[in-house]
Amino acid sequence: MKNQLYLIDGSAYIYRAYHAIAPLSNSRGTATHAILGFVNMVNRLLRERKPEYMAIAFDSKGEVFRHQLYRDYKANRPTMPADLQEQIPYIKQFVEATNIMMLETPGVEADDIIASVVDFFTSPENEVVVVSGDKDLLQLAGDSVTIYDPMKEKVIDAEGVMDKYGVSVAQLLDYFALVGDSSDNIPGVPGVGPKTAQKLIQGHGSLDGLYDNVAGLKKSKMKEKIIANKEQAYLSKTLIDLKRDVEIPKDLTAYHVVEPDQEKLYNLYAELEFTNLLKGVDLSTRIDTSGFVSVRSEDQLQGLKEELDQADILVIDTETTSLVARKARLVGISLCTTLEKAYYLPVGHRDEAGNLEPDQLGEEVVLQFLKPYLQSEHLLKVGHNIKYDFTVLFTSGIELKGKIADTLIAAYLNESGGRSLKLDDLCLAKGFKLTPFSEVVGGDKREDCFSYVSIEDATDYSCEDVYGTLMLWQEFEAEMDKKGVVDLFWNVEMKVLPILAHMEMAGICVDSNVLQRLKIEFGEKLQGLEKNIHDLAGREFNINSPQQLGTILFEELGLPHGRKTKTGFSTDVKVLEKLARKHDLPARVLAYRTTAKLLSTYVDKLSQLKDDRTGRIHTSFNQAVTATGRLSSSEPNLQNIPIRTEEGRSIREAFVPQENKIFLSADYSQIDLRVLAHYSGDRALINAFRSGEDIHARTAAEIFGVSSLLVNDEMRRVAKSINFGIVYGMSAFGLSNQLDISRKDAQRFIDRYFNLYTGVQDFMRDIVARAKEEGRVTTLLGRTRTVADIHSKNRVQREFAERMAINTPIQGTAADIIKLAMIECQKAIDENGFSAKMLLQIHDELVFELPEDEVEQMRPVVARAMENVIDLEVPLVVNFELGHSLAK
């Protein structure tokens, strides 16, 4: 069997990786997308091809010997982007860490190194695979040499060269000499394209043969060019010809693929924050399970009592039958108070017949034992994603009380998790590998699969979780103090957590009759839109196919081309919105897509998500998803129901209060702009809010230069777009697109805005400067966000980071304020003994469900709570609405 040697064109890999992945960076602002792409391509080759021998060749830095032959060699190549240059050293660190042979020689290119290796090792005993998409390397194809392009999944041998170019491998260099290479600025013979070059080389055998017989060519302009550019043709041949005498390691064993240096890989991936790749590096140690105990008798319970009585911290984790906390039944609970010992209390393990395993303490016994500790005011309870455990315990009859700490939220505030806040990934980053859930359940796909895990295995698995959680807490607590987010953690995030748990459990009613009506209405509307679209197109086609839609819009209707993608012309929302100004069809397609999405995302899904037991929809509120601190919701996402469209409002009609109750909605008025006024200290903005003026009308009057009495709805709409757009760092380009006005007019409006509110412009400039100096921005309550790309040499990334620096303190502070409002409102409800329930938080709005006879008492209490949660330079104002649906 032949030895197989793989040679990777590393420099080509780098550029392919750089352009294949959208810009990425780690939390310190280091660009990482080219590194990630390179690593993935190499790992894929190793995984799929399993090479026994391998090397990666790189171009040398600076000029090579070809520049001495021809000063304009590669002269039209742009300078390597700065954000790619900074990634090269990390790519080479990766190659070193993998222990793959790295080849780099001053003054020569990767192609020459590869050619030299091929020339030396090609033999009946060795087969060489050159991994590259560079056509110049096709000169190497032969009996024992193939060229593999991993991007196209294509292998080319000598026969493939003949099929592609119509010349043999031996003739390929002469063919290239005639054609030249614009990417490397190799001239060739002007006017000689691929077909002509193929014909000339086929007819004369070689470049020498062509020039030996050039006089016999038929008189033509082409003949004149060939004669006039003879020197250029031979120069081109010399430049394209691969150097085959570069010094290389000549012992095949030096190219042997061996195990990578796990520690180097781990450190590199950790620095670059490649969380998923970290999982594949097994450098971590397993947690010592010798201190893990399963508590299965009254005597053991008594021993545990003695330890808990002395503790000031209790880490808990529940094992259950479901990922849905409201529906989950307890299988066991793990606890620890120190890193020396951890305990597992099994209560619901079963044999394959479904019968409870013997030697388990009953659920009631365990819960009664733990109740005083779980409800203790002085004992700190810690968990990872503890809202889940809070809900499980609450449905089992115990409400967690006293101080609660969540390591998931702590990691989120510390920005410790990179792209993952999972317990396993956070522990892995600290050097500890937890047993995966899939491993402990052995691939069992049943929802209640943990019930069938042996108590011994469950003990180790669950105790690992509380051990890992306590280990993280000990580090995160100090990190939060260092980062200045301790008060935010305890007084905002941890206080709002149990409120969110109760909101999730409460759920919200949906009217099935409304959903059924909407299903019919939306279905009919889709049919009508489909017919209308086909009539406008002049034929039927698949509206959901971007390619078919692109053909209709750009080829048959002749509309201006949008953005080109790999698969054709883009037909995304931005493109269709622009085209809708020119033709009705794209406008109808937008309406079709919106209706179809609302039908599938809400109308159909809400019916499926309705809980059979409660008759209500139970969303999940997420504290650690958005970068600004705003809550998000999922399954279903109730934050994103459109409110400005007729269809969106009709969906909101399906959300109704319980019988004999009503919704009270409390919505902060223009909170983002009020926070902006506070931050900027702009007197005009502050005075407008203090005097209760319509801020959009006031802005409109100024930018249009008219009396406030003459401001119409369209003027106010423009001013509103500018007021809110400024908060998001909107440019004149963005405003012109949004309002469908010229960029010149948009810039004029923005200039007038800043002339009116000079403090806002100062604030924006100052906050960006501070972000550049400190590398982060902070909300009024201390929430911080790293602005990684603020110094990026990539203009698009840098400008995005600057907009983020402006927007985050405003959005983040507004997010903190609404959470404070939730805490104060719940406190007021409890103190006044109201039966009202807080059901939803949607952006700046809180929705309560309550009896109608509580409304008059409730409204001033909520107003007082929400309007006094924080001192700003301007008043907070709450607007109220009553209704028998979310549509009011």
Task: Tell me the domains of the chain and their CATH numbers.
Answer: 3-255 (3.40.50.1010), 285-507 (3.30.420.10), 509-617+625-656 (1.20.1060.10)
- Residue 58's pLDDT is 94
- Residue 619's pLDDT is 94
Counting residues of the chain whose pLDDT is more than 90, the rounded percentage is 57
The answer to whether the CB of 406 falls within 8 A of the CB of 417 is: no
Check whether 830 has a pLDDT greater than 70. yes
Instruction: Please tell me the distance from the alpha carbon of residue 537 to that of residue 416, in angstroms, as a whole number.
Output: 53
Instruction: Please tell me the distance from the alpha carbon of residue 142 to that of residue 597, in angstroms, as a whole number.
Output: 55
Q: Which of 57-61, 333-337, 567-571, 634-638 has the lowest mean pLDDT?
A: 567-571
Place of tokens 């990922």: 323
Check whether 306 has a pLDDT greater than 70. yes
Q: Average pLDDT in the 839-843 region?
A: 92
- Residue 187's pLDDT is 83
Q: Average pLDDT in the 549-556 region?
A: 88
The encoded tokens of residue 150 equal 């991993």
- Per-residue model confidence as pLDDT tens digits over 742-758: 888 888 888 888 888 99
Instruction: Please tell me the distance from the alpha carbon of residue 888 to that of residue 743, in angstroms, as a whole number.
Output: 38
Q: Which of 275-289, 617-631, 816-830 has the highest mean pLDDT?
A: 816-830
Check whether 566 has a pLDDT greater than 70. no
- Residue 227's pLDDT is 84
The answer to whether the CB of 836 falls within 8 A of the CB of 824 is: no
Q: Average pLDDT in the 594-600 region?
A: 90
Instruction: Please tell me the distance from the alpha carbon of residue 548 to that of residue 679, in angstroms, as a whole number.
Output: 50
Structural element, H or E, at residue 880? strand 878-883
Check whether 793 has a pLDDT greater than 60. yes
The answer to whether the CB of 451 falls within 8 A of the CB of 350 is: yes
| DSSP, res 356 | B
Instruction: Please tell me the distance from the alpha carbon of residue 83 to that of residue 794, in angstroms, as a whole number.
Output: 7
- Per-residue model confidence as pLDDT tens digits over 22-44: 888 887 778 899 999 999 999 99
Considering the chain, what is the average pLDDT of its residues?
90
Listing DSSP states for 103-152 in one string gives: E--TTS-HHHHHHHHHHHH-BTTEEEEEE---GGGGGG-BTTEEEEETTT
Structural element, H or E, at residue 617? strand 616-617
Q: Which of 474-478, 632-636, 790-794 has the lowest mean pLDDT?
A: 790-794
Alpha carbon 859 to its chain's center? 40
Instruction: Please tell me the distance from the alpha carbon of residue 658 to that of residue 845, in angstroms, as a whole number.
Output: 20
- Residue 249's pLDDT is 94
Check whether 675 has a pLDDT greater than 80. yes
Counting residues of the chain whose pLDDT is more than 70, the rounded percentage is 98
CB atoms within 10 A of CB 511: 16
Check whether 759 has a pLDDT greater than 70. yes
Place of tokens 């614009």: 182
From the list 750, 764, 761, the residue with the least C-alpha distance to 702 is 750
Place of tokens 């352009």: 19
Check whether 417 has a pLDDT greater than 60. no
Check whether 204 has a pLDDT greater than 70. yes
